[in-house]
Structure 1
Amino acid sequence: MKKKLTGGLLAALAFSLTAVCLFAAPVNRNYTIEGTLHQVRESKVFLLKQYRSGQEADSAVLVNGRFRFEGILKDDIVAAMFTMHVPVTEVQLAENPFAGMSSRHFYLSPGKLVVSGNRLEDIMFAGTAEADDLMRLEGILGPINATLSRIGSQYRLISAMNGFPGKQDSLAAYSVASEKLADKYREAEKLFIKDHPASLLSMAMFRSMTEVVDTKDAEEMEVLLTGLSPLLRNREDMRVIRKRLLVLSRLVPGKPALEFSMPDSAGNSVTLSSYRGKYVLVEFWASWCGPCRSQTPYLMKSYETFKGRNFDILGISLDDNRQKWLKAIHEDKLPWTQVSELKGHSSKIVSKYAVTGIPLNFLIDPNGIIVATNLRNDGLYAKLAELLK
């Protein structure tokens, strides 16, 4: 699981509350939303809009099943979410801790949006071109989502049961099934983008996909970007993404790692080239990154086994607080060299290696060539056992 600069098993399926800025200074960014809920008559509906500068929230009172929002968007298409509290029984809450929260993710663009349904989860969108495209997309993804929902319910049910026969095997099977569906979901999204190259929704989805990109996916994302209409792919924000994808495409196995120099915890300069002649794992992490620190036992196992066999680890922290960084090193008892600019996401190494999420690592051979990326859990140990026979 990656910590965003995100994660989870169904990260590919989770709605990304990320802003998308597509056109500069449109004439009119006013929007109105007129909503109708048939099974919920009185409540309060919240509208969350996410921009790169931060999140904005608004609320509307639901009266006789109707609600209304209006405002001015800062961008031409914005990731958004409706949410509201709904009454549930203790049994329902025990089966699903999110049962008391009703929500719906969508993309909001200027114009009049009309939404209606029994509850937020099943509302339909109409009134704008983007709403029409969203309905087409959901028609494709609907069966996948329905299957995922059933798997999620079964997973939660079994997780809560003590003494369930073959509990761990069952949970593992559900996890594998979820991962396969996540891949299917992602492929369906990519096909939609290819089939709708001029759609703002395609642009928004592409932006979401490229928030966190693995080096092995960079080339495919570049092809997807090239397939967008000229009006979309030539935007400034797309040029920024293209530049990042170009860097990532050069950080794949078989390519030389990019040289850098950074200060260690004592202030001494450490260069990547100083590790020439041995295998080195360059591990990006941070004290605030839970998924990063959960990898420590696996890293320690590999380090203790192979440190005397021409292998080392170099930790690169994206912390911006020296005390927290040093505390994490001490708490996790990390014996290998640690470096950091202590500038967080503004560190030069972030742009140099196009870091969009952590944990992230590169295994580099004695000649400075990348041999593997993103080795997680026992993957590093297995790779080193193969290389250092």
Structure 2
Amino acid sequence: MKKIVLLSLGFLTMLSCNESSNGFTINGSLRGDIEDGTQVFLKKIGEDNQPVEVDTTMVTGGKFTFKGVSEKPELHYLFVDKANTYAALILENGDIDFEAQIDSLGFAKIEGTTQNELFSDYMKQSREISQRAQSIQQDMQHASTSGGSQETMIALRDEMQELQEEYQNFEVDYIKNNPNALISALLLERATAAKILGSEEIQELYNTFTPEVKDSKPGKRIIESLEELKKSEEQAKNTAIGAKAPNFSGPNPDGETIALNDVLGKVTLIDFWAAWCRPCRAENPNIVSVYKKYHEKGLNVIGVSLDKSADAWKKAIADDGLEWNHISNIAYFDDAIARLYNVDAIPAAFLLDENGVIVAKNLRGPALEQKVSELLD
């Protein structure tokens, strides 16, 4: 089974008259070429982010039915045997009416319960923005293949950027306007994980949720992720430009412990990298060039590797001619130094002055030499 990608664009206190605490009924209707006896699967995402089967039924005369009890509203998926698409719906107690063409399950009409009405409203609006994005992408592809002007490509990129900002604002506004919707919790959970919003704004939006939405699975996960985000933001302050770089230490390739404070120069570059990181390896020749040019004037470099293999780390140092100090805990992104510096992607770099104060971050190519020259020449 292929992995499910939740909602291509995304992702109550008052109950509608047909919702019931006695359980749910999904009344399904499928159009198109579909044989009696075709299986329909009701699934949800398990702990390992893979689909888990909840129930199975069969199609008869284009109809199918699921019945059961839902403890609380939760996102589920409907798969039909031999169909290439699937449909998302909110499983909650009440009568849920599902109607779709067998070849386009993702565009199903889902009605009957509060959360599914809210979910369908969100999907309708998000699809409208998605269609506009697809149109821009088609225009960009046509301009590229037909030799369109540079001005046209720039205009289309700007248009796409504006649309992306519009979509982000749409999702935030949807959350604000629908604090009783499970989809709002799903959207806020995604924004929290992607660090699209700051912790204060996420907290404010979460506080508006109804008790039912707060008690949902995504609602609970938001609180867990929010605590991690707050810690991350606090760590980011410690490694912001103008802050004193936190000291750290670790083993070098010979097993000896080296600390940042022991190798500070007039200018010091902390370079987070790894042998497996292609952009890092591509940048290494530039760092080598700058180091050779400015080391005697006071430039020091300390490489912090996020490798998983000590042998690969040492080989990359030799192959790339990296003659400066190196340390690594061979811990990948679980490395304590990476966490201290809030590094969740590499390459990442911090440039320090003679006092160990961070004066620049993530400089590469000519920008690195320009800043080093400014500090040492």
Deviation track 1:147-184 (CA, whole Å, cap 9, x = no partner) reads 2112333445666x5xx424887666655543443233
How far off is 1:126 after superposition? 4.0
Larger radius of gyration: 2
Identical-pair percentage: 26
> Aligned equivalents of 1:67 and 1:335: distance in 2?
68
Match of 2:185 in 1: 203
Asked whether the equivalents of residues 41 and 62 of structure 1 are also in contact (C-alpha less than 8 Å), the reply is: no
* Cα distance change of structure 1 residues 141 and 16 upon mapping to structure 2, 3 Å threshold: closer
Q: Where does residue 353 of structure 1 map in the other structure?
A: 341
The answer to whether 1:55 aligns with 2:50 is yes
CA contact (8 A) 1:283 1:314 kept: yes
- Determine the C-alpha separation between the residues in 1 that align with 2:41 and 2:272: 37
What letter is aligned with 1:223?
E
Deviation larger for 119-128 or 377-386: 377-386
- Which amino acid in 2 is paired with 1:193? I
Q: Which amino acid aligns with 2:239?
A: L
The residue aligned with 2:165 is 183
Change (3 A) 1:82 1:374: farther
Give the partner amino acid of 1:202.
S
Structure 2-normalised TM-score?
0.67
2:137 matched residue in structure 1: 152
Shift of 1:262: 1.9
Give 1:228's aligned residue: 206
Secondary structure of 2:193's partner?
coil
C-alpha contact 2:284 2:320 (8 A) present in aligned 1: no
Counterpart in the other structure of 2:286:
301
C-alpha change, 1:165 and 1:255, in structure 2 (3 Å) is same
CA distance in 2, matches of 1:45, 1:170: 47
* Distance verdict in 2 for CA 1:351–1:306, change over 3 Å: closer
Paired with 1:81 and 1:324, the residues of 2 have a C-alpha distance of 45
Match of 1:319 in 2: 307
Counterpart residue number, 1:344:
332
Q: In structure 2, what is the Cα distance between the partners aligned to 1:382 and 1:72?
A: 65
Give the superposition deviation at 1:207.
Answer: 2.6
Structure 1 residues 173, 107: CA separation in 2 closer, same or farther (over 3 Å shift)? farther
Aligned partner of residue 253 in structure 2, secondary structure:
coil
Q: How much does 1:356 deviate?
A: 4.0
**Count of residues paired in the alignment:** 341
Return the alpha-carbon distance in structure 2 between the equivalents of residues 315 and 83 of structure 1: 52
Deviation digits for residues 175-233 of structure 1 (CA, Å, limit 9, x no counterpart): 554344323322322333344456443333233223344xxx77x34333234217648
- Which sits farther off after the overlay, 236-245 or 369-378? 369-378
Aligned residues: CA RMSD:
4.6
CA distance in 2, matches of 1:358, 1:156: 30
Q: Does 1:117 align with 2:100?
A: yes
Partner Cα separation in structure 2 for residue 306 and residue 50 of structure 1: 50
Is the 1:303–1:313 contact (alpha carbons within 8 Å) kept by the matching residues of 2?
Answer: no
Does structure 2 conserve the Cα–Cα contact (< 8 Å) formed by 1:259 and 1:271?
yes
Contact 1:281 1:312 in 2 (8 A): yes
Corresponding residue for residue 268 of structure 1: 256
Higher relative contact order, chain-length normalized (CA < 8 Å, sep 6+) = 1
1:212-267 per-position Cα deviation (integer Å, ceiling 9, x unaligned): 44xxx77x343332342176489444333333333234432222332221223332
